[in-house]
Structure 1
Amino acid sequence: MLFTRATEYALLSLILIARRNEPVGADTLSKQLDIPKSFLAKILQNLAKRGILKSFKGATGGFILSRPPNKLSIKEIAQAAEGKNISVFDCSPAQECCPSNKGSFCTLWPFLNKLQNKIDKYLEELTLQDLLE
């Protein structure tokens, strides 16, 4: 699966954060987006660990973007939110990942790999700024 709710919530949160000029807390975001706070807090921490967000503690704490929106690719955001490389199918990045490959050549893999490469390129070029416009 390409995106899960983690990526959806990450993107929705980053859009709101990008539109503010001050740190935004997980509590505020979870209320605005009607997302469970504990799940959202985990996603936001992953984004901070991967350098997409900066986090600030304290009463006026929260999260801000670490870079301008046009420097944050959707692929980078999705990988940070998911905690792994995103792929259309388990085997699309590399044939060795195919769960049903029993030593024989899979006739679908070249197509899946080509599709994965096109999606990767598109998501690398698409930025948070594109979602804000």
Structure 2
Amino acid sequence: MKETRVSSTKWFGLALQSLLVLADFDGIAPSGALADKLGAKSSFLRKVLSNLVKAGILSAKEGRDGGYYLAKEADDITLAEVYEAMRTDPYAKGFLDVNKEECFAPGTQKALAGLIDEMENWLLQGLSEKTVGDLLRDR
């Protein structure tokens, strides 16, 4: 079965917003209540939340009284963890794609590919320095 993770800022943003709401939620939050609060479709939100559960960031309780809750403290969840849980391709993928391979010499193509890797590393380094708890304190 194909995983539902994507390299989408929308998914990453919704994941972060969900974590912020859950950090302030008292108890287990049903996906419908989260979706209402965030203005998201329940089915779409559940796909996002399932990736966070797989990554060990959230826990889920099934059943009538089920829902989602943080699997660890907000201060222990880095934004890099959330980013990693939500993507399969580098954030910068497609950013430097060239329609025709003949457009640049092989050395330039290699340099562009290296830049994409560097950009991904910069992004991950920056995200690893901030936690969900930091975002809660910054409001």
TM range (shorter): 0.7 to 0.9
Residue 104 in 1 paired to residue 109 in 2? no
Report Cα offsets for 1:77-106 as digits up to 9, x if no partner: 122123x254223588xxxx9986678123
SS of corresponding position for 1:108: helix
Q: Which residue of 2 aligns with 1:15?
A: 20
- Unmatched 5+ residue regions in structure 2? 1-5
Report Cα offsets for 1:40-86 as digits up to 9, x if no partner: 0111111111111000122322111111111111121122123x254
TM-score (norm 2): 0.77
Q: How many residues align?
A: 128
Q: Which residue of 1 aligns with 2:3?
A: none
Aligned-residue offset at 1:115: 3.1
Q: Which residue of 2 aligns with 1:68?
A: 73
Q: Which residue of 1 aligns with 2:30?
A: 25
Aligned-residue offset at 1:8: 1.1
Contact 1:3 1:86 in 2 (8 A): no
- Unmatched 5+ residue regions in structure 1? none
Contact 2:7 2:89 in 1 (8 A): no
Q: Mean alpha-carbon deviation: is it higher for 11-20 or for 111-120?
A: 111-120
Contact 1:56 1:63 in 2 (8 A): yes
TM-score (norm 1): 0.80
Q: Which residue of 2 aligns with 1:36?
A: 41
Question: 117, 122, 130: which is aligned to 1:118?
Answer: 122
Q: Give me the whole-angstrom Cα distance separating, in 2, the residues matched to 1:75 and 1:99.
A: 31
Q: Give me the whole-angstrom Cα distance separating, in 1, the residues matched to 2:38 and 2:98.
A: 37
Question: 79, 89, 105: which is aligned to 2:93?
Answer: 89
User: Structure 1 vs Structure 2: percent identity of aligned residues?
Assistant: 26
Q: Give me the whole-angstrom Cα distance separating, in 1, the residues matched to 2:98 and 2:125.
A: 22
Change (3 A) 1:76 1:129: same
**Counterpart AA for 1:79:** E
Please provide the CA RMSD for this pair. Answer: 2.8
